[in-house]
Amino acid sequence: GQQVMQIPQYQHVQEGEDFTTYCNSSTTLSNIQWYKQRPGGHPVFLIQLVKSGEVKKQKRLTFQFGEAKKNSSLHITATQTTDVGTYFCAATNFGNEKLTFGTGTRLTIIP
Amino acid sequence: DTAVSQTPKYLVTQMGNDKSIKCEQNLGHDTMYWYKQDSKKFLKIMFSYNNKELIINETVPNRFSPKSPDKAHLNLHINSLELGDSAVYFCASSHRYEQYFGPGTRLTVT
């Protein structure tokens, strides 16, 4: 089945530093979504990217979809303690409605 | 107003028992899902229902049986619980692409 890998698995940053997580697939993706899960919480939808090379911003968060639609990234500028959590990418293949979640990147912030 | 709710929030039970988890959504969505999140935080889809019909059934032991009495409800029944079933189970619903997750049910099998 489809696999979606994320790196890094863990990231510890000082508050105020930037953070990036990368999502990679061996197959071309129909679209990619990003979710955030706070410790003890449930995944919450952040954004969906559909077009090749698409870039979207939400305040300090920048999401990018690769030109080949096989990879994506989430970049957070100047992290804050509220950014703590696990960030998941999730993707669907063409003709397949199933959303496959990436392995997740757990972000911890050192105040 | 809770969009996707699950009961119970915590479930501790012994091996061999049968248990059910209930899920309800008040968003009017057509599609509902069950996910399993293990201790390493890997999130895997188990089942998906669209308008009460099963559309995704991953490689899940047949001890797990979903049931959708109507569009707003998707329950999960687990027979003969095993230690490896310990995990957090999330229900979710969607209208188009964005999925809304319930708060999760932490199942511990002893």
Q: What is the pLDDT of residues B16-30, one digit of tens each?
A: 999 999 999 999 999
Cα–Cα distances in angstroms (integers) from residue B43 to residues B36, B68, B70, in the given order: 6, 22, 25
User: What is the structure's pLDDT at A3?
Assistant: 79
Q: Each residue of A6-39: pLDDT tens digit?
A: 999 999 999 999 999 999 998 999 999 999 999 9
Strands A10-14 and A105-110: parallel
Q: Each residue of A50-106: pLDDT tens digit?
A: 999 999 999 999 999 999 999 999 999 999 999 999 999 999 877 667 889 999 999
User: What is the structure's pLDDT at B52?
Assistant: 82
> Which of the residues B49, B58, B97 would you substitute to probe the A interface, choosing the one with the greatest number of A C-beta atoms within 10 Å?
B97
Where chain B has pLDDT below 70, the residues are 1-2
User: What is the structure's pLDDT at B57?
Assistant: 81
User: What is the structure's pLDDT at B59?
Assistant: 79
Please, which residues have CB within 8 angstroms of residue B73's CB and are 6 or more apart in sequence?
B22, B23, B24, B32
Q: Are A43 and B45 a contacting pair at CB < 8 A?
A: no
Chain B residues in contact with A45 by the CB 8 A cut-off are: 98-100
User: What is the structure's pLDDT at A2?
Assistant: 67
Select the residue of A31, A43, A98 nearest B56 (Cβ to Cβ).
A98
Q: Are B48 and A97 a contacting pair at CB < 8 A?
A: yes
User: What is the structure's pLDDT at B77?
Assistant: 97
Q: Are B97 and A100 a contacting pair at CB < 8 A?
A: no
Chain A residues in contact with B55 by the CB 8 A cut-off are: 97
Q: Are A101 and B43 a contacting pair at CB < 8 A?
A: yes
User: What is the structure's pLDDT at A83?
Assistant: 98
Chain B residues in contact with A98 by the CB 8 A cut-off are: 45, 48, 56
User: What is the structure's pLDDT at A111?
Assistant: 86
User: What is the structure's pLDDT at B54?
Assistant: 87
What tokens does A4 get? 């979606």
Q: Are B97 and A88 a contacting pair at CB < 8 A?
A: no
User: What is the structure's pLDDT at B106?
Assistant: 98
Q: Are B98 and A103 a contacting pair at CB < 8 A?
A: no
User: What is the structure's pLDDT at B96?
Assistant: 81
- Give me the DSSP letters along chain A: ---EEEE-SEEEEETTS-EEEEEEESS--SEEEEEEE-TTS-EEEEEEE-STT-EEEETTEEEEE-TTSSEEEEEESS--GGG-EEEEEEEE-TT--PPEE---EEEEEE-
